[in-house]
Structure 1
Amino acid sequence: MKQTSISNSIIERYLSYRVEHQREYFLHPPYMMEKQLLNAVKEGRMEEAVSILENINTLERAKLAEEPVRSLRNSLICICTLFTRAAIEGGVPPETAFNVSDAHILEIERMETLEQLFQLEYNMLRNFVEAVQQARKQECRYSHAIHMAVAYIHENILQVMTLESLAKHVYLNPSYLSHLYKKEVGVSVTDYINNSTFAD
């Protein structure tokens, strides 16, 4: 019972504070604009994505910290997370998307001015959209089975993987998968796995 009253007290204070500081702290872009932006990322539509972000940036941002640079950093980290999920939904292998995300978050933390952070936001958007575009080009170039195999390799790059386990995942005979993979990708399955591991 005591725990409940403490929890209720915390919630009441938070809600009261939120009402009191509504304009100062809790401004967010309309959900539909955010959804349109993420859909543009997912579909790899660069011009549309940049245009929507420009429109969003004409609005006030939520204050996520007392210090302006820290507040914008926090905002960009949130946006980076959303871009990452949209890119994965758009066909970017999860491991690739997470690597792009991690690199940008480290870069966000290195930026020291608002101007640098605003520029980084657009660079980040472009990089995620380009990753989707690249993934879609590969998807068109490969057969369904090879596309599944490539995606599986990237999703499980830190796991021990064999030709047999990969073939089982894509429902092909290992020998046939090996032949098809070399034909479409240009390198053997083993070489591709090794190269991807070293790249990560």
Structure 2
Amino acid sequence: MRQRTRARVLAAAEEEFTEVGYVAATVARIAARAGVTVQSIYSSWGSKSALFRAYLESAIAPGTERVDFSGAISPGHPREVVSQIAHLFRAVAERSGPAWRLYRDAAAVDPEIAADWQQLQMLRRGTFDILLQSVSDRDLRVARPVAVDSAWAIASPDMYELLVERATYTLDAFEKWVGETIAAAVLRVVQE
């Protein structure tokens, strides 16, 4: 599938999934919205659940075939590294908050999506492991696995939903909270 057509299908999928949710969404309506055949969607993605995953990935990292955050953080002072992580997470959350919520909700009713959601959570955890590689063990106040788990929990889709969508934090306030909370949880010395 050509890139333009793929982008149209993913935009149509976003509209369909956002409007009616995963369970009620149909590949036929997505195809009609995108101006393609149902068969072309199945040929490219294989299933509605695979298309749903592609929609989530396109929300996280638009315009790419794969989500990859290696190299996203520049080495520096541990506090600066954590600030970069908070900024990166804010950008991802801003783009993909609704998609995360739809995926989580679909996981509650579809075993295939539930298994994929669990895998995605482990991939997200692995991403925090990669992002925290720029912080040396001597700068951590906790063991590295605990630091990774802490960042993974603090900078999570659930925290984004709670603080931005429910408690009405601005994105700037949310980014600041994520950075300060991760720093307080994992860094040996937090310097202003």
Pairwise TM-score range, normalised by the shorter structure:
0.3 to 0.5
Q: TM-score scaled by structure 1?
A: 0.35
Q: TM-score scaled by structure 2?
A: 0.36
Larger Rg: 1
Q: Which has the higher contact order (CA 8 A, sep 6+)?
A: 2
